[in-house]
Chains A and B, each alone.
Chain A
């Protein structure tokens, strides 16, 4: 089975722009979740989707949004980028109640 695939791997954006990150889960996995990793805050939960429904959302401003498609692929969007949004964004997929598998991440730099 192919692993979790995140695209793009690296991204440089300017303050005020918006960005869309993509995550393709392991085949058969219906749960997809997103995490932000920064040196100061560590790994923080953004949101989780299951069968196109958001079941939980972390404590992030409304500029952070996501969605899941019928094929379980997920996207997250960050609008009006700020310097503090520079981070490694990680996506994970899992079957219900099972091990979460992570992708390689998207490293976003906001300048």
Chain B
């Protein structure tokens, strides 16, 4: 099956700092999504981004499909940005394959 690798596994930031999370995948994909898992376990959609660049407030994402990677940028981080960030990809098989996640801790 497709391999999805996220880096770094853990990230500790000071409030106000910027950061970049990376997702590499091993095959061409139809769909790529970024999620933030809240403390109660729910996966919150951040971006649906099989290719190109999108921005939503302090977050932005870029997927370079031809090179099989995606980046999630967090700018001016806040303590509420803490949590686990997941990248998930879909081939043409109706299922999302998730990376292991990046655990982000933002300190005040």
Cβ-defined contact, A97 with B41, below 8 A: no
Q: A11-19, A60-68, A102-110: which one contacts chain B?
A: A102-110
Once the chains are docked, how many angstroms separate the CA of A50 from the CA of B95? 12
Query: In the complex, which of the residues B33, B41, B93, B94 contacts A104, with contact meaning CB atoms closer than 8 Å?
Result: B41
Task: Say what secondary structure dominates the interface of chain A.
Answer: strand
Those of A61-87 within 8 Å (CB) of chain B: none
Query: In the complex, which of the residues B33, B40, B41, B97 contacts A45, with contact meaning CB atoms closer than 8 Å?
Result: B97
A43 at the interface (CB under 8 A from B): yes
A21 at the interface (CB under 8 A from B): no
CB-CB under 8 A from B12, the residues of chain A are none
Query: In the complex, which of the residues B43, B48, B94 contacts A102, with contact meaning CB atoms closer than 8 Å?
Result: B43
CB-CB under 8 A from A42, the residues of chain B are 98, 100-101
Those of B7-45 within 8 Å (CB) of chain A: 30-31, 33, 35, 40-45
Once the chains are docked, how many angstroms separate the CA of A42 from the CA of B48? 21
Contact with B along A82-106 (1 / 0, CB 8 A): 0000001010100001111111110
Query: In the complex, which of the residues B30, B35, B41, B88 contacts A105, with contact meaning CB atoms closer than 8 Å?
Result: B41
Once the chains are docked, how many angstroms separate the CA of A44 from the CA of B97? 7
| CB-nearest residue of chain A to B31 | A97
- Contact A103/B42 with A33-B94, A42-B100, A56-B94 known, Cβ cut-off 8 Å: yes
CB-CB under 8 A from B69, the residues of chain A are none
- Contact A99/B41 with A33-B96, A56-B95 known, Cβ cut-off 8 Å: no
Contact with A along B86-108 (1 / 0, CB 8 A): 10100001111110110000000
CB-CB under 8 A from A37, the residues of chain B are 41
- Contact A43/B30 with A103-B42, A104-B41, A107-B41 known, Cβ cut-off 8 Å: no
